[in-house]
Amino acid sequence: MRKKILITGASTGLGRGMALEFAAAGRDLALCARRLELLEALKADIATRFPAVRVAVRALDVNDHEQVFEVFRGLDAELGGLDRVIVNAGIGKGVPVGSGQFRPNRATAETNFVAALVQCEAALELFRARQSGHLVTIASVAAIRGLPRSQTVYAATKAGLAALTEGIRADLWHTPIRVSAIYPGYIESDISAGARKRPFLVDTATGCRALVRAIESERPRSFVPPWPWTAIAFVMRRLPLGLLVRFL
Ligand SMILES: NC(=O)c1ccc[n+]([C@@H]2O[C@H](COP(=O)([O-])OP(=O)(O)OC[C@H]3O[C@@H](n4cnc5c(N)ncnc54)[C@H](OP(=O)(O)O)[C@@H]3O)[C@@H](O)[C@H]2O)c1
């Protein structure tokens, strides 16, 4: 059982929801995000509901790469050895490529891919040293295909993250370190607030229960919730692009 779990992007949405699920299962938590006040409120909430659970929080901007290493090392020392790291922090800004607004696309690329790489580096530095641990990356069903409009760069970052995760798994094949990529479908959170109605959207608690179940299975790849997203991913992979864009 993984007892000490670090989650980035834990101030809201999926990160917060997973933290509550793991706390209910009695796991100790290391929680990071930029909005420290939200992490402190979550810590207080967990202390009331699950008093036996230890929670350490840190303000962290994952785009500050040196800080990622420092914060992961500090939390590892504070909890006495992390045994799972969930690379979850992400944004969904993005505009069509070439529409004259490079900045949101660059921010999406940097946060969702470069900063995710840094988090993997910092986690594996700890795991390689002790030859144990479980690295989890939160990709997306959007990783399956190139997508149009505001999703183009987001989907590319998630495809890159999924490939990165598989590469790390290949590299660690003969070690006890486990590596999993999670591909969520639509789960209610701030990332999609205000977006047009999304099919098969589940509420945050339902989605996070399914996420935690998938993470605990330690399978290499999981679509979450499994139904209908495993089937949708199967079809998405095979649809001709002209047909795919009609559904998006
Ligand atoms: N919800 C979905 O349907 C869905 C589907 C597929 C994949 N995902 C993925 O799930 C992950 C979580 O997203 P969410 O849906 O929970 O969205 P969210 O509610 O907007 O949460 C995003 C989290 O990431 C953190 N974050 C963003 N930029 C950061 C930065 N530079 N440094 C540190 N933390 C940062 C935010 O915290 P601060 O702002 O406090 O820093 C927040 O806690 C993302 O990687 C997203 O791509 C979500």
Dist. CA 108–CA 90, nearest whole Å: 8
Average pLDDT for 224-246: 94
Residue numbers of the domain that contains 111: 4-247
Decide whether any atom of ligand 1 lies within 6 Å of the 14 Cβ: yes
* Top mutation candidate among 18, 34, 40, 196 for ligand 1, by most atoms within 8 Å of CB: 34
Residues β-bridged to residue 178: 134
User: What are the CA-CA distances from residue 175 to residues 169, 192, 220 (Å)?
Assistant: 10, 38, 14
| CATH number, domain containing residue 131 | 3.40.50.720
* pTM exceeds 0.85 for this model: yes
Please give the Cα distance from 64 to 77 (Å, whole number): 20
User: In testing the pocket of ligand 1, which one of 72, 138, 189 has its CB within 8 Å of the most ligand atoms?
Assistant: 189
For residue 117, what are its two tokens? 């790489």
Distances (CA, A) of 27 to 36, 56, 232: 21, 12, 32
| Count of domains for the chain | 1
pLDDT score, position 198:
87
Q: How does pLDDT run across 24-39, given as a tens digit for each residue? A: 999 999 999 999 999 9
Note the pLDDT tens digit of each residue in 171-210.
Answer: 999 999 999 999 999 999 998 777 777 889 999 999 999 9
